[in-house]
Amino acid sequence: MKIEKGTKFLIVGLGVIGGGYAKALTKAGYTVDAFTKKASDVLYAKEHGICRKVTTIVDKKMVEEADMIIFALYPHTFIDWVKEYGHLIQPKTLVTDVTGVKTEVIEKVNALLPRGVEFIAAHPMAGRESSGIEYSDDEVFHGANYIITPTIKNSTEAICACRDLGKILGFAKISILSPAEHDRMVAYLSQLTHVIAVVLMNAENIEGLEKYTGDSFRDLTRIAKINDAMWSELFLMNREALLSEMDDFLSVMEKFRALLVAGDREGMRAMMRVGTARRSLFDKPKKGEAKTPAAK
Amino acid sequence: MKIEKGTKFLIVGLGVIGGGYAKALTKAGYTVDAFTKKASDVLYAKEHGICRKVTTIVDKKMVEEADMIIFALYPHTFIDWVKEYGHLIQPKTLVTDVTGVKTEVIEKVNALLPRGVEFIAAHPMAGRESSGIEYSDDEVFHGANYIITPTIKNSTEAICACRDLGKILGFAKISILSPAEHDRMVAYLSQLTHVIAVVLMNAENIEGLEKYTGDSFRDLTRIAKINDAMWSELFLMNREALLSEMDDFLSVMEKFRALLVAGDREGMRAMMRVGTARRSLFDKPKKGEAKTPAAK
């Protein structure tokens, strides 16, 4: 399929990401239907005009009508949904997702989907520390990164349609990685950072600490406000990659610790200069700055 | 002394913090003179009208005229300055600072100051990852925390004058801690966070990583752009406290690692919930929200 003027989207899951996708696609003029578990989401979606039809029960006709189905669920809920309702999906419908781990999810979903239904996986590198549709915001995608993780089973047509979806949603950089590369990258860039934030918040319990803090601590722990159900699931599904990143981090920390113990000022400064130089690559493009139009 | 309409301030060091103090105090209507090492700072300060007199050489008369001298230098530069020029400071002049470590600095400075000159130490918990007067901004103090670290040698008059300074600068919460409490707090809230950011940037070296990142990684590593000369000095001056915080952090991380290895979802979730609950205390007050007027 190719995304065109009349393309019909079905979003399964109206959380903070699914809700943001619905807002962006409706604003861009597409027809967007959605399934959600919570009745209050239906009200919210209707009040804010972000979907055409929204239901809490899986409507066969809505599934059949969709040209592209976007799953915005927790990994195990996504797999369970496909197990129960996957047979309703029509051949030619393109399936994509927003799931934060790829290898295991892609394998399981592909095994469950009916013949002729193509699943092209993708991961929007944008989110919020709060969950729920009321926190959804399509602006978070602007300037953010979008990763498509095709396998050998995917057609170039599906990859291009997925890239077009990323563009419509407003992502600045759209990249392609294998599921395994993605899971390693995400272990470092996203899962390890969440582990650090949680560990840092657990490392001290002094009352009134917030009276003394500066912004560096606030920034490092923003994501310690964490959706524990979702992230524990993501960590366990990507356990080997995450453990490997944690071990790299721990060993570099031990190295820095040894420099401090030894009073090795120059050794510490050398590591700080590496940090400064590498970090400068990571600044977010300002609004209106050049977007990278194509996948790598 | 008491800060009054005609109070004359002398700021020694026009970096990102000294420059911000100069801007705030000039805006508030006080007379502000300054010493700086860089001739370009003199031009900047004059062009932006943020001081009355600024010189690169230590002018005896400017020191004598000051009612309150604020040192905004690196720790060792502060100590060196007092060693060389401290004798110029007049009795009744109140001395304060912005230094990020306290115990050692206070001890050394007090030993060097002339009799009758009182030093009341303070630490503004606000800053920027970039250094230099051109990055200075008095807005960073609004909503931020300010810590006064008196010793037994300080008068209540000096503590109150220092608190008034914090209020004039716009800090939201002004607290009092002993130098040792301060150094332990700062080891956790500020130094450990900088170590983590530097270590995280040093833990992987994959080309093109920035194409895949989300905001969590950006936030955690913002401070990896670090002034290596200053921070290595701060770390070494607070070595024992920082090592202790690093060890606590490392042991909690090992605990989390063991839960992940064991597949202990509930154990991980429990730690995440602690993180979420504790972190909620740390949100910055929005502009215009109640400020805490008094020290604890």
Q: What string of DSSP letters covers B165-198?
A: HHHHHT-SEEEE--HHHHHHHHIIIIIHHHHHHH
Please report the pLDDT score of residue B155 as a whole number: 97
Please report the pLDDT score of residue A292 as a whole number: 40
The complex's ipTM works out to: 0.86
A221 to B275: CB separation less than 8 angstroms, yes or no: yes
The answer to whether A273 contacts chain B (CB < 8 Å) is yes
Amino acid in position B123: H
Q: What span, in angstroms and rounded, lies between the C-alpha atoms of B257 and A290? A: 40
pTM for this predicted structure: 0.85
Asked if residues B73 and B13 have their Cβ atoms less than 8 Å apart, the reply is yes
Distance from CA of A74 to the nearest CA of B (A): 15
Residue B148: what are its φ and ψ, rounded to 5°?
-100, 135
**Which of A64-78, A200-214, A260-274 comes out lowest in average pLDDT?**
A200-214
* Regions of chain B short of the pLDDT cut 70: 285-296
Please report the pLDDT score of residue A205 as a whole number: 84
Please report the pLDDT score of residue B131 as a whole number: 81
- The model's pLDDT over A95-129, given as tens digits with 9 standing for 90+, comes to 999 999 999 999 999 999 999 999 999 999 987 77
Query: Which of B185, B196, B235 is facing A268, going by the closest CB pair?
Result: B235
Please report the pLDDT score of residue B279 as a whole number: 93
Asked if residues A50 and A22 have their Cβ atoms less than 8 Å apart, the reply is yes
pLDDT band (50, 70, 90) for residue A287: low
Q: Give yes or no for residue A172 having a pLDDT over 80.
A: yes
Residue B97: what are its φ and ψ, rounded to 5°?
-150, -175
Q: How many CB atoms lie within 10 A of CB A264?
A: 15
Please report the pLDDT score of residue A132 as a whole number: 87
CA-atom Rg of chain B in angstroms: 21
Residues A198-222: what's their mean pLDDT?
89
Q: How many CB atoms lie within 10 A of CB B178?
A: 14
The answer to whether A152 contacts chain B (CB < 8 Å) is no
Please give the share of chain A, as a percent, with pLDDT higher than 70. 96
Eight-state DSSP code of residue A139: G
Please identify among residues 103-142 of chain A the ones whose CB lies closer than 8 Å to any CB of chain B: 125-127
Q: Give yes or no for residue A254 having a pLDDT over 80.
A: yes
pLDDT band (50, 70, 90) for residue A29: very high
Q: Chain A interface, mutation test: which of B146, B174, B196, most A Cβ atoms within 10 Å?
A: B196
Single out the residue of A69, A244, A281, A170 nearest to residue B212, CA to CA.
A281
Distance from CA of B9 to the nearest CA of A (A): 25
Please identify among residues 237-266 of chain B the ones whose CB lies closer than 8 Å to any CB of chain A: 239, 242-243, 245-246, 248-250, 252-254, 256-257, 260-261, 263, 265
Q: How many CB atoms lie within 10 A of CB B44?
A: 20
Q: Give yes or no for residue A131 having a pLDDT over 90.
A: no
Please identify among residues 156-215 of chain B the ones whose CB lies closer than 8 Å to any CB of chain A: 173, 175, 177, 182, 185-186, 188-190, 192-206, 208-215
A196 to B192: CB separation less than 8 angstroms, yes or no: no
Helix (H) or strand (E) holding B81: helix B75-85
Distance from CA of B243 to the nearest CA of A (A): 7
Please report the pLDDT score of residue B225 as a whole number: 92
Report CA-CA distances (Å) from A287 to A22, A175, A291, B49: 22, 19, 9, 32
Count of CB pairs separated by less than 8 Å, A with B:
291
Map residue B253 onto helix, strand or coil.
Answer: helix
Please report the pLDDT score of residue B286 as a whole number: 61
Please report the pLDDT score of residue B42 as a whole number: 93
Q: Give yes or no for residue A4 having a pLDDT over 70.
A: yes
Q: What span, in angstroms and rounded, lies between the C-alpha atoms of B261 and B161? A: 54
Q: At what angle do helices B16-27 and B156-169 cross, to 10 degrees?
A: 90
